[in-house]
Amino acid sequence: MQTFIASNSKEFAQQTADFLFQRFVQKPDLIVALAAGETPLLPYTRLVEKLIHERVDLSRCTFIGLDEWVGIPPDNPGSCAYFLRNVVLDPLNIKSDRFKLFNSQAADLQQECRNMDAFILSRGVLDAIVVGIGMNGHIGFNEPGVSAKKYSHVIDLDANTKNVGQKYFSEHTALSKGITLGLQTLLDAKQAILLANGARKATIMRKALEGPLSIEVPASIMQQHANGFIFMDEAAAGELTMKQNGA
């Protein structure tokens, strides 16, 4: 694992954007899975601006959505699909055959999971996967207690996730299940990038990075990844005992 600790949220966003930008430049046919949410919003915004400004050819790249709330339509502003389309895919003019998002309204969600895994497998493996971390240590919708050997799957959401998730919706929304890439998908990816900012994430980041590897803190799986990269601001890194920046 390499850690990159920025002095503030703006620097965090720029460091993350610069790192991801280089992935696209170095591999014109990059296959990348992207999380939605508050944490990656500014990093993605900076990344998109730079990709457009530098006129990087993305025509051979493939974008994958990390997860989705089951039953929430893609035109709902609280959905992960809505976020990724508006923040990344549409601004970059990514064509529909170059990205795949979970259809969380599919009649057969297990088949939807198989379709996602097959889509990725048909292209090899993920070159990079970008994830955030929940207050309960989840990444994607891989909730505490989940098996580390799962690929795409449907899962019952933790109470914490259901409560925190309300912030993405304009009115109270029933959230019960999620559909997500699994921890095995993350381990198989050539690079895994975990993002965290804000003091509220300090305790869970300490547990994830310095605590024991445990399914009760799913993000601790990052300790096992051969090419794991952690981007934080100082607030999120506030409880770490070792604060060594990566090179």
Which residues are the active-site residues? 67, 136, 138, 143
The DSSP code sequence of 146-179 is: --TT--SEEEEPPHHHHHHGGGGSSS-----EEE
Rg (CA), the chain: 17
Do 34 and 63 touch, CB atoms closer than 8 A?
Answer: yes
Using a 10 angstrom Cβ sphere, with 0-12 exposed, 13-18 middle and 19 or more buried, the burial of residue 209 is: buried
Alpha carbon distance, N-terminus to C-terminus of the chain = 11
Name residue 128's beta-bridge partners. Answer: 32, 191
Dist CA 33 CA 61 (whole Å): 11
In this structure, the number of other CB atoms found within 10 A of the CB of residue 7 comes to: 10
Instruction: Say what angle helices 9-26 and 38-53 make with each other, to 10 degrees.
Output: 50
Q: Which tokens belong to 101? A: 């998002």
Dmax over CA atoms of the chain, in Å, equals: 47
